[in-house]
Structure 1
Amino acid sequence: MGDGLLSTITDPDDVKALPAEQLPELCAEIRATLLDYGHRHGGHIGSNLGLVEATVALHRVFDSPRDRIVFDVSHQSYVHKMLTGRVTSYLDETQADETTGFTNPDESEHDQFVLGHTGTSVSLACGLAKARDAAEAAGNVVAVIGDGSLSSGVAFEGLNNVAEQGGNLIVVFNDNEMSIAGDFGGMYGPLARLRESGGTAQPNIFNAFGLDYRYVEHGNDVNALTAAFEDVKDINHPVVVHIHTTKGLGLPNCDAAKTGTTADPCDLSDSHPHAGRCEASHWQTPDSALNNPDDPRKYYGKLAMAALEQRFTDEPGLVVISPATPGSNGITREFRDRAGAHYVDTGITESHAVAYAAGIARAGGTPVVATTASFFQRAYDQLFQEMALNAQPVTLLSFLGGLSGSDNTHSGAYDIAMFGNIPGITCLAPTSGRELLGMLAWSTDPARRDSTRPGPVVIRMPGDPILAAERETGTALSAEHLPLPKPSVNWTQYDITRIGSKAAILGLGNTYPLAEQVAQSLPFDATVINPRQFSSLDISTLEALRTDHQLIVTLEDGQLEGGWGEKIATYYANHLDTQGRTPQTLAFGAAKEFTDRVPLHDLNRRYSLTPEAITTAIRNRLKYMEHARSKRQ
Structure 2
Amino acid sequence: MNQHPDFLLNQIHGPQDVKQLDLAQMKQLASEIRTLILEKDAVLGGHLGPDLGIVEATIAYHYVFNAPKDKMVWDVSHQTYPHKMLTGRALAWLDPEHYEDVTPYSNPDESPYDYYAVGHTSTSIALATGMARARDLMGGKENIMALIGDGSMTGGLAYEGLNNAAIEKHNLVVVVNDNQMSIDDNVGGLVTALKKLRDSNGQTPENPFTAMGFDYRYVADGNDIEDMIAAFEAVKDVDHPILLHINTLKGKGYEPAIKDEANHHWVLPFDLKTDKTTVPAPDGPTAASVALDEVIKRIKNDEKVLAINAAIPGSFGLDKIKQNYPENYVDVGIAEQESVAFAAGAVKEGAVPVLFESSTFLQRAFDQLSHDVAANDLPVVMLVAGGGISSNSKTHLGIFDQVMVGNLPNWIYLAPTTLNEEKAMLNWAINQRKHPVAIKIPTKPVPMGEEVSADFDKIKYQVKPGKDVAILALGDFYTLGQEVAEKLNATLINPVSANILDKDSLDKLAKEHELIVTLEDNSLDGGFGQKVASYLGTNKVLNFGQRCEYTDQVPLKQIYQDNHLTSEQIIADIKVNLND
Report the TM range for the smaller structure's normalisation.
over 0.9
Residue 530 (structure 1) shift: 0.2
Question: How do 1:368-447 residues align onto structure 2 when only pairs under 5 Å count?
Answer: 368-445=354-431
Q: 1:611 aligns with which of 555, 558, 567?
A: 567
Residue 284 (structure 1) shift: 11
Q: Which residue of 1 aligns with 2:87?
A: 84
Question: How do 1:14-163 residues align onto structure 2 when only pairs under 5 Å count?
Answer: 14-146=17-149, 148-163=151-166
Query: 1:265-296 CA deviation, whole Å, 9 max, x = no partner?
Result: 35323649xxxxxxxxxx999xxx77635xxx
- Structure 2 CA distance for partners of 1:417 and 1:538, relative to 1, 3 Å: same
The answer as to whether partners of 1:329 and 1:371 remain within 8 angstroms in 2 is no
Segments of structure 1 that go 5 or more residues without pairing to the other structure are: 273-282, 294-298, 478-483, 574-581, 625-633
Q: Work out the CA distance in 2 between the residues paired with 1:50 and 1:164.
A: 30
Residue 383 (structure 1) shift: 0.5
Q: 2:320 aligns with which of 334, 338, 348?
A: 334
Q: Which residue of 1 aligns with 2:266?
A: 267
Q: Which residue of 1 aligns with 2:523?
A: 559
Q: Work out the CA distance in 2 between the residues paired with 1:349 and 1:43.
A: 22
- Structure 2 CA distance for partners of 1:502 and 1:267, relative to 1, 3 Å: closer
The answer as to whether partners of 1:145 and 1:172 remain within 8 angstroms in 2 is yes
Q: Which residue of 1 aligns with 2:557?
A: 601
Which region of structure 1 is more displaced relative to structure 2, 381-390 or 413-422? 413-422
Give the SS at the match of 2:189: coil
Give the SS at the match of 2:356: strand
Query: 1:118-148 CA deviation, whole Å, 9 max, x = no partner?
Result: 0000000111100001112111001011051
Question: How do 1:468-483 residues align onto structure 2 when only pairs under 5 Å count?
Answer: 469-470=446-447, 475=448
- Structure 2 CA distance for partners of 1:266 and 1:351, relative to 1, 3 Å: closer
Give the SS at the match of 2:256: coil
Q: Work out the CA distance in 1 between the residues paired with 2:94 and 2:548.
A: 35
Structure 1 letter corresponding to 2:513 = H
Give the SS at the match of 1:311: helix
Q: Work out the CA distance in 1 between the residues paired with 2:394 and 2:536.
A: 34
* 1:11 aligned onto 2:11: no
TM-score (norm 1): 0.87
Give the SS at the match of 1:618: helix
The answer as to whether partners of 2:219 and 2:245 remain within 8 angstroms in 1 is yes
Give identity over the alignment, percent: 42
Alignment RMSD: 2.1
Q: Which residue of 2 aligns with 1:463?
A: 443
Extract structure 1 runs of 4+ deviating beyond 4 A: none
Structure 2 letter corresponding to 1:269 = L
Q: Work out the CA distance in 2 between the residues paired with 1:23 and 1:597.
A: 32
Segments of structure 2 that go 5 or more residues without pairing to the other structure are: none
Q: Which residue of 2 aligns with 1:189?
A: 192
Q: Work out the CA distance in 2 between the residues paired with 1:494 and 1:519.
A: 20
Aligned length: 573
Q: Which residue of 1 aligns with 2:284?
A: 292
Residue 491 (structure 1) shift: 6.0
Give the SS at the match of 2:510: coil
Q: Work out the CA distance in 2 between the residues paired with 1:608 and 1:200.
A: 61
Q: Which residue of 1 aligns with 2:231?
A: 228
Q: Work out the CA distance in 1 between the residues paired with 2:284 and 2:494.
A: 26
- Structure 2 CA distance for partners of 1:153 and 1:284, relative to 1, 3 Å: farther
* 1:541 aligned onto 2:533: no
Q: Work out the CA distance in 1 between the residues paired with 2:81 and 2:47.
A: 9
The answer as to whether partners of 2:425 and 2:456 remain within 8 angstroms in 1 is no
Residue 600 (structure 1) shift: 1.4
Give the SS at the match of 1:102: coil
Q: 2:544 aligns with which of 588, 596, 600?
A: 588
Residue 493 (structure 1) shift: 2.3
Query: 1:244-280 CA deviation, whole Å, 9 max, x = no partner?
Result: 11110111223314xxxx62335323649xxxxxxxx
- Structure 2 CA distance for partners of 1:414 and 1:255, relative to 1, 3 Å: closer
Give the SS at the match of 2:299: coil
- Structure 2 CA distance for partners of 1:612 and 1:491, relative to 1, 3 Å: farther
Q: Which residue of 2 aligns with 1:309?
A: 296
Residue 492 (structure 1) shift: 4.5
The answer as to whether partners of 1:560 and 1:566 remain within 8 angstroms in 2 is yes
Give the SS at the match of 1:143: strand
Q: Work out the CA distance in 1 between the residues paired with 2:142 and 2:235.
A: 12
Q: Which residue of 2 aligns with 1:496?
A: 462
Give the SS at the match of 1:516: helix
- Structure 2 CA distance for partners of 1:362 and 1:85, relative to 1, 3 Å: same
Q: Work out the CA distance in 1 between the residues paired with 2:282 and 2:532.
A: 37
Give the SS at the match of 1:254: helix
Q: Work out the CA distance in 1 between the residues paired with 2:207 and 2:153.
A: 14
Residue 310 (structure 1) shift: 1.1
Which region of structure 1 is more displaced relative to structure 2, 350-359 or 593-602? 593-602
Q: 2:347 aligns with which of 346, 361, 366?
A: 361
Residue 512 (structure 1) shift: 0.8
Q: Which residue of 2 aligns with 1:629?
A: none
Q: Which residue of 2 aligns with 1:237?
A: 240
- Structure 2 CA distance for partners of 1:269 and 1:284, relative to 1, 3 Å: closer
Which region of structure 1 is more displaced relative to structure 2, 80-89 or 246-255? 246-255
Q: Work out the CA distance in 2 between the residues paired with 1:127 and 1:612.
A: 49
The answer as to whether partners of 1:373 and 1:415 remain within 8 angstroms in 2 is yes
Q: Work out the CA distance in 2 between the residues paired with 1:249 and 1:115.
A: 24
Q: 1:508 aligns with which of 464, 467, 474?
A: 474
Structure 2 letter corresponding to 1:303 = V
